[in-house]
Every structure is written in structure tokens, then in C-alpha cells.
Structure 1
Amino acid sequence: MATRSMDGGVHAHDPHSCLCCRPEIFALTDRMTADLTRRGFMASMATSIAALGLPGLATAQTKTALETTPAPTVFKNFRLFDGQGETLRDGFHLRVDDGKITALAEGDVTASQDVTVIDCGGRTLMPGLIDAHWHAMFAPLPMISLLTSDIGYVYLAASAEAERTLMRGFTTVRDVGGPSFALKRAIDEGLAPGPRIFPAGALISQTGGHGDFRMRSDVPRSEGRITYSEEIGAAAIADGPDQVLHRVREQLMLGASQIKLTGGGGVSSLYDPLDTLQFLPEEISVAVRAAADWGTYITAHIYTPAGISRYVKAGARCIEHGQLADEDSVKLIVDHDVWWCLQPFTEASDMNRYSDKENQRKQQMVWDGTDRAYELAIKHKAKVGWGTDILFAPAATVNQGNMLAAMKRWYTPAKALKMATGDNGDLLALSGERAPYRGKLGVIEVGAFADILIVDGDPTEDIDLIADPDANLLLIMKDGYIHKNSIPA
């Protein structure tokens, strides 16, 4: 049997010997736990990973447990895409200090000896990409693996995928469902490379809703009993205003930057037809009020006009998906100043394909509605965010950049690029004081985070460059740290 390795390659693999059962993994565990000090942990991690030959788990230039400060860096000789306009500008230099952009000025640069100067050779400098609908814990594993594997294995898989996500140029993701709090912490503390994460925590779902991963044998539910998907924080089942309030507050306690409610049927889920409405208006209102009391917002998974109407009227600040929207529901989105996070789901896309006939039928409905949804969004000037929603499909995560390139079906490359940078940065700002990072994202301006890409070409004319990050993203910087630099000397 062939499997995809952590470095993205395909290798022969014994089907009776999984990675977590290899003797090397047991040795890694013993060595990692031998010294729980920060410095000892990092030293043992680096040595053990080298011994295992797992290059996908570590990056040479990644910061080490907050013990280092990135060197001051100056970029020169580039064409600037700032994430706010849709054209390139020339004649600037840019300085980075301590993870932030501290200067963006015209003219030549004079730098002292303690500053690293990078000559971009006339290439494009742009902000790091933002995926506003990502599932850091759900993307890298099939659903059956997520729901049956040891949680340690799930986190190892998610950590490896987080690094690959960063190396595709995605320096920030809005995680809209999954137990990503620990992964976020590890990335923020420098224990693992990966993008910034705006976590929602568990999918909050009614019984039988899109986030109900239970088996039929788990019903009826015994008093006080929770299933594995709830135990690991993948889902939180709530029925009635009191339970919804409880589950929302739990995710806020854990550090959610926004709250995700599953408001209608889903393509991947087991029990709910696509047209179903989930959560009563009074349940939604309680969730909206609880999130607002913490200075943040509710976003809702929903496809249908009726579902969009219910959630917008109840106070949700963002609609996820919405491919079946009609004219009236889109007008409602615009009139209430609600964000609409759409995904370019079409039959041509190599995304989230299902073997079950009912899942296929629901997926076809979404495919058929996507063109109309984008047409309505453009017509009514809706605030549109961009995301991928790669779900339970480890082989599809490599297509993250392809899904951005697919946006040229409806938008100019420059507009699509702006959507995945500055526009998505504005969407992230809905989290207000619950935003886990203090600074602007998705733009190149003084004071913004130094999340920077150098592209070998002009992505505002040819957005397909983003689809091949290995070849075309010559430099990837996040928070002032360089994770890749292959610019020719």
C-alpha cells in the first residue's frame, strides 16, 4: 500500500504497521519526556526528529520556543502588492523589526551591519495568504481516522499539515471547527511551525446536525455521557437555549476567537439533508448574545436561503458557504452588513469527493449553486471572504493554492488575491478583543505583522503562480521569521 509521507512524497508502507506503532516513535516519546524544561524539550525534539528522518516536522529557521528574536531585515528591489489595492507599485524598500513592518518608504535603503538585506530582484512582495475557512485538525485525516485514532496521533498529523500549510504561503488561517487550541499554542510558542490560527473550537451542533459525528449506536444518549468526538473537542452537541449557552461559553473559556454554529445540512455529515434548518431562533439568539458579551461573533454553516435568513436576523456576523442563496437572502446579508465566506466549489475542483451516493447528491447541489452564488455576491457588492473548507481529505490539502487560483472564474486575479489577503484580514478583525494576535494581518503597511511572500512573477496577472508554491514562492516570512528563502543570490 502507498501512503503520503510527512514531506508530501509517496512511499511504500506496510499496512499492518502504522506510524504510531513504530519503535522509533516510542523512543521519541521517551526522549521528549526525559526533560520537561523548555530548552531540554526542544533539544530532545530536534535530535529525535533528525533520528527519525521526519523533515516535515521541523524547519531550520523556525524560532525555538520564544528564545530568539528575529533579526532586523530590509527588503529592496521589489514590486509591491499591499493587499489593499489591486495594482503593483515600484520603488519601495521595506524594513522588518521584531516581527512587525516598521518602515515602508520610497527610494534606496541604507542599512547597518546588523541588518539582513534581501534583494528581491524585481519580484513581487505581498502579504502572507489567509484561508478564512480552514480546519487544521479535520483536513489532514479521513473522518474515520479522526474519530477513532489516539488524540496524540491526530495532533501529530495536524502539526505536520500545519507546516505544509505555512510552506504553501498561508501564514494565517481562521479555523472554523476542530480542537485546534493546543496546536495553536504550540505554533505560537515556537514548538512547531505553522500558520497563525484563529480558533473556533468545537463545532456546536444540535442533535442530528452537521456537527453530530456520533454513531447510530450512540443514540439514545445516556444522561451525562459524551462520545469521543465530544471528548476530544471536535464537536459539542447542544439542544435548547441552556445547553447552547453552556457550550458557547465553554469554547470561549478555551480561547475561541469566534464561535461556529452548524445551522443547516452539510455535504459530509451523516444524518442531515442539505435543506434542513438547525437550531431554533431562540437558541441562535442565546449564542449570539453570549459571543457578543465576550466581544466576538457567531459564524454559521448554512447553504439555504431560509437558513441564511434565520441566522442573519438572529445576529450572526458571518455566513459560511451559502451556495444555494437566492436574491432576497443575499440582499439580507448586504443590508445587515454580514460577511459571506464562500468557497469555489465546482465539479471541476479536486475537492472533498465522496463515495456515498447521498453525499454525492448533496455535493452536486452545492456545485450547481456556486456560480449563481458568486454572481449574486458580485451583483449586490457583498463583503466576501475566501476559504477552502478542505475536510477529511488529506490528499486534497495540496490544492489549497489551486482553490485560490480557481477564483479567476469569477474575479480578476488581483481581486482574488486581495480577497485572500486584505479582505480576509478585515474578516478576522470581527473577533475584536478576542483576536489572539495584536496587529494588522493581510496587508503590507507600517505596524502590520511581517507576514511576507516573495513571488517569482506577477500574481495579480497570473494567480496560477500561487498554485505551485514550491516553484514560485521564493521566500516565506511569518512574524519576521524566514521559513523559506530560495531567492538567487
Structure 2
Amino acid sequence: METLASLTAIAGFVSLAASGALAQDALPQTLFTNVHIFDGISEERIENANVLVEGNLIKTVSTDGIDAPEATVIDGGGRTLMPGLIDSHVHLYATGLVQSFSGLQAAKWDQIGATAAENARDYLYDGYTTVRDTGGMGSGLRELIDKGIVDGPRIYASGAAIGPTSGHGDWRNPEQRTFNMGSDDVANTFNLSYIADGAEEIRKASRLNFAHGASFLKLMAGGDVSSELDPLWSVAYNVDEIATAVEAASFFDTYVTVHAYTDETVTMALDAGVKSLEHAQMVSEETVKRIADEGIFWALNVAGMDPALLDHPNFSMPTVKPKLEEYLVGSENVIEYIKKYKPKIVHNVDTVLSTIGFGRAHQDFEKCYFAELLGNHAFLVAATSTGGELAQLTGRRNPYPNKLGVIEEGAYADILIVDGNPLEDLSVLGANPKWFDAPARDRGFETIRVIMKDGVFYKNTLE
């Protein structure tokens, strides 16, 4: 009998210890109550709802009460709960430090790194919980953010943009533009831009990017408005060369995006198998239909189509103004084509070579102008769920494999609570009709009351 009693006591002790261990291991919970949900997709909010977060994931979304006695309860007060914003075209390493590509050649590595960290904080506290960096270094900053050392959004990085000699990615000073490019090219040294001529150099540059932790690749497939050496109509790579990068990316289970504006360069990129486009405003109706039919993701920055750019000092220079005028004429019908065929558009601000203050104004204007052209709902979808879909294209290179940009069970707990209804009024997210003449503002918006990323509060003014 003593043996049986001893065994019973031991079993009870083990049971208590196990239950204690389970209690210690239980994930923290946050229960958001009394909110109206924009889920990242729907045209109407889910009224009078509740959301339970467990750990770093959304556990339950319901219009009924949620039983979670151990949860921290946040009363939303009838405000809108929505996914954190996603900017799918940023340049963390080329904003806030210099205002020209030539100036970048004089930058120090620690200046570039510190500025990138400051830009990352700016995005997070403006409500962006994920960004896609389309030309800059590798995974180092992302790793610091993921460890909690630096505040910032999730980062999907392309690593160095890949382009040819005299292409949009050739940022060297005139004395550096020789047949034997030296190691004094800052863009190359710091993995901001690789100059690659021909298939084998493209293949090597692609693999260097993956060695530095890139999640996807970006190629400069054609010319640009603001850079010096490449006419807007110029073609950077042929189909076979672009296909080399596509193959290199496929070997790493991810994809290629291209910088391209014209119908010719976009068509060549699609023929080569790219899955994503940056800019591409000068395409024909036929090509827009193809983009939609093939499910290609399109990072369209509509602010670049504002005729007010002609009054900006940088774009009114004799070397740039003719390119801008050509671009504005070439893009005048693209919004109508987009409305007709409804391709997958993702939010693209593309702030580069500007002060952080001007970058904020650019971001705020992009939201407003996008909504003016395509509607509030279209902007919100582009800046949430469609951006989250694009993130999933990185396959096994994806540093964040769960869903992003949606409020649904199993998605990452990247959440904003905002005053008002952004489906009706985007000013609650900072949208502003002013751009160059916008007054300076501080980081963040009072109307964004809660910023949660990965289940962690970075702002909460509702408590």
C-alpha cells in the first residue's frame, strides 16, 4: 500500500509540474475588443468585432465574444483595426544621407548603416510593419530588427540592384567609369548596386546577392528619368540575360523583379519570366492586360505621374526635363488601363536621394494621389494584402513564412488601430494632398493609436 501511495504522490507531483510547465510556456495573449475590422481585402469593414492575438500570430477573429481570461484586453473604442502597411519599394540605404548618386560615392559605411536604421524606425512608427527594399545591401539590418536590437519593419531585401554599364544602376563618378571598375565604387563595395554586363556577370551578381542574404533579385531592365547615363527609352538587357537572373533566382526558390518603364523593356522582362515589375507606367493597353492575365505583381508609384514634378528643381534640369516630359506623355493612359484590367498593384513610394523629411511628405502624398486616381480601397489593398501576397513569392527564401497584410487566423499579428475609417478617409493614415509644399512633420501620426508588429506593441495610446 505504501508503494501505491508513493506512486500516486509521485504521479500527482509530475502532473502538477507538467501543468506548471505548460502555464509557463503559454504564449501571451492580447484581446482587441470593440473594433471595426478592415481585413486587407474587403470593401466593407467587419463591424463590432474582436481579435485575439496569441504570441506573434492572430488566433481568432470574431463578431462574437472571445473567451480569453488570461489575455491583456485593449478596448478599441469603435475604431478601425487593420493590417500594418506594406511599402513594396523602398530604399533604406539611399534616403536621408545624400541627394545625388555622385554624393553617395563619398558616403561612409557607418553613415549609410546608421541612416538606414533611422529610416527603418521612421517607417515602423508611420505604420509600416513590412517594407521591400529594392536596392540595398543584404540581411544585416533585418537581422538586427528581428532580434529587437533596432526598431523597424520586417524587411524583404533584394540586395544590390543589378544593371549594366551606363544603365540606371551605374552610379559611378566619371573618373570611375573605366573598363576596369575599381573597388573604390561605393555602391559596389557596400552591395547597393552591381554593374553586370552579360549573362555570366549577371549570374555571379545574383549569387553574390543571395550570399549577402537577399530574399529576391532586382534587375535594371531599362532607362530611368532621374539618372544621367541611360536614356529613358534605352534597353539594358536582352531576354536571355534577364532569363539568366530568373534562373538564378529559381535555383534559390525565389523571383526577379525589374526596373522598367517602357513597353519594350516590360515585354522583354515578361518574356524572360519575371514575376514583378517596378514602375512600368509607359506600357500599352495590351501589355497591361497581359500583366493582369499572368498575375504579375506591379509596384506602381503614382506620385511619379504628377505633372507638378516639372516644377521640381531636380526634374527641371536640362538633362532630366526632356526625359520627364517623355515619361508623362507615355504614362497618361495607364490609370485607365489599370481600372479596366485590374492587375495586382502593390504600394510603391520609392523615396530615394532625399532628406528624411521630404521622404515623409512623398509617402503621404503617394497615399493621397493613389486614392485620388484609383480609390481608397484600391490603395489599402495594394498596401496590405497584395503586398503580403508578393512577399510569399520568396518561397523558401522567405524570412517570414506566415501570411502578411491580412487580419485573419494564422496571419502575423501586424496590426494598426486608427481613428475613423480609412476606407472613407485616408488622412487617418497620414495621406496629404500636399507634396513639395507640405509642412514638415514629426515621425508618426496621432490618428494611428496602436502599432503592433509580430505581436509586440510599438505604440499604444489606448491604454
Matches within 5 A, 1:283-362: 283-344=241-302, 345=304, 346-348=306-308, 353-354=314-315, 356-362=317-323
* Correspondence for 1:480 among 455, 459, 463: 455
Partner in structure 1 of residue 373 of structure 2? 410
Measured in 1, the distance between the counterparts of 2:89 and 2:353 equals 14
Instruction: Name the CA distance, whole Å, in 2 between partners of 1:434 and 1:446.
Output: 23
Q: Is the 8 A contact 1:309 1:332 kept in 2?
A: no
Whether the aligned pair in 1 keeps the contact of 2:57 and 2:412 (CA below 8 Å) is yes
Q: The residue matched to 2:282 in structure 1 has which SS?
A: coil
Gaps of 5+ in 1: 1-67
Superposed CA deviations along residues 436-489 of structure 1, whole A, max 9, x for unmatched, are 1121000000110100001110000111221165121011111111111112x5
Q: Does 1:455 align with 2:412?
A: no
Q: Work out whether residues 303 and 324 of structure 1, in 8 Å CA contact, stay in contact via their aligned partners in 2.
A: yes
User: For residue 63 of structure 1, what is the aligned residue in structure 2?
Assistant: none
Q: Which of residues 363, 368, 380 is equivalent to 2:324?
A: 363
Instruction: Show the counterpart of 1:390.
Output: 351
| Alignment check: 8 A CA contact 1:405 1:466 kept | no
- The answer on 1:164 being equivalent to 2:145 is no
Where does residue 437 of structure 1 map in the other structure? 400
Q: Distance in 2 between matches of 1:369 and 1:121?
A: 47
SS in structure 2 of the partner of residue 250 of structure 1: helix
The alpha carbon displacement at 1:108 in A equals: 2.5
Name the aligned partner's letter for residue 486 of structure 1: T
Maintained 8 Å contact 1:111/1:117 = no
Report the secondary structure of 2:155's partner residue.
strand
RMSD over aligned Cα atoms: 2.1
C-alpha deviation, 1:209, in angstroms? 0.5
Question: After the TM superposition, which residues 237-316 of structure 1 pair with which residues of structure 2 at under 5 Å, given as runs?
Answer: 237-316=195-274
Q: Which runs of 4+ in 1 moved over 6 A?
A: 349-352
1:211 pairs, out of 143, 163, 169, with 169
Give the Cα separation in 2 of the matches to 1:177 and 1:147. 16
Task: Give the deviation of 1:223 after TM superposition.
Answer: 6.8
Which residue does 2:97 correspond to in 1?
A: 141
Q: Kindly state the Cα deviation for residue 71 of structure 1 after the two structures are TM-superposed.
A: 4.1
- Does the CA contact (< 8 Å) of 1:453 and 1:474 recur in 2? yes
1:221, CA displacement in angstroms?
A: 2.9
1:58-88 CA-to-partner distances (Å, cap 9, x unmatched) read xxxxxxxxxx998421100000000021111
Please give the alpha-carbon distance, in whole angstroms, between the structure 1 residues aligned to 2:144 and 2:346: 27
Q: 1:329 to 1:262 in 2, by over 3 A?
A: same
State the match for 2:84 in structure 1: 128
| 1:225 positional shift | 4.7
Aligned residue number for residue 186 of structure 1 = 144
Give 1:282's aligned amino acid.
D
Larger displacement relative to structure 2 (94-103 or 200-209): 94-103
Q: Is the Cα contact below 8 Å between 1:309 and 1:329 reproduced in 2? A: yes
User: Which ranges of structure 2 fall in alignment gaps of 5 or more residues?
Assistant: 1-24, 432-443
Greater Cα shift, 368-377 or 199-208: 368-377
Answering whether residue 342 of structure 2 is matched by residue 381 of structure 1, we say yes
Kindly indicate whether the alpha-carbon contact (under 8 Å) linking 2:183 and 2:189 is maintained by their aligned counterparts in 1. Answer: no
Work out whether 1:464 is the aligned partner of 2:427: yes
Pairwise CA distance, 1:271? 0.4
The 3-state SS of whatever aligns with 1:337 is coil
Moved more, 386-395 or 224-233: 224-233
- Structure label with greater radius of gyration: 2
- Are the equivalent residues in 2 in contact too, given 1:200–1:257 (CA < 8 A)? yes
Q: Distance in 1 between matches of 2:151 and 2:460?
A: 15
TM-score, normalized by length of structure 1?
Answer: 0.82
Q: What letter corresponds to residue 88 of structure 2 in structure 1?
A: A
2: distance between equivalents of 1:136 and 1:305?
A: 29
Q: For 1:333, what is the secondary structure of its paired residue?
A: helix
The percentage of aligned residue pairs carrying the same residue is 35
Which amino acid counterpart does residue 78 of structure 1 have in structure 2?
A: V
The separation in 2 between residues aligned to 1:337 and 1:458, in whole angstroms, is 30
**1:94-133: CA deviation from partner (whole Å, max 9, x where unpaired):** 1112111111122224432x42110010000000000011
| 1:321 alignment partner AA | H
The amino acid across from 1:102 in the alignment is: K
Aligned length: 420
Q: Distance in 1 between matches of 2:26 and 2:133?
A: 27
Listed as ranges, the matches of 1:215-234 within 5 Å are: 215-222=173-180, 225=183, 227-234=185-192
Residues 386-425 of structure 1 deviation map (CA, whole Å, 9 limit, x = unaligned): 2111111123221323312221222221221111101111
Q: Give CA-to-partner distance per residue, 1:224-247, whole Å, 9 cap, x none.
A: 756221001111111111111110
Question: Could you tell me which amino acid in structure 2 is paired with residue 481 of structure 1?
Answer: V
Q: Which amino acid aligns with 1:474?
A: R
User: Separation in 2 of the partners of 1:201 and 1:458?
Assistant: 37
C-alpha distance in 2 between matches for 1:154 and 1:352: 25
Give the deviation of 1:347 after TM superposition: 2.6
Q: Normalising by structure 2, what TM-score?
A: 0.86
Deviation at 1:91, TM superposition (A): 2.6
The residue matched to 1:470 in structure 2 has which SS? coil
Relative to structure 2, which stretch is displaced further, 357-366 or 307-316? 357-366
* CA displacement at 1:355 relative to structure 2: 5.7
Report the equivalent of 1:101.
58
SS of aligned partner of 1:111: coil
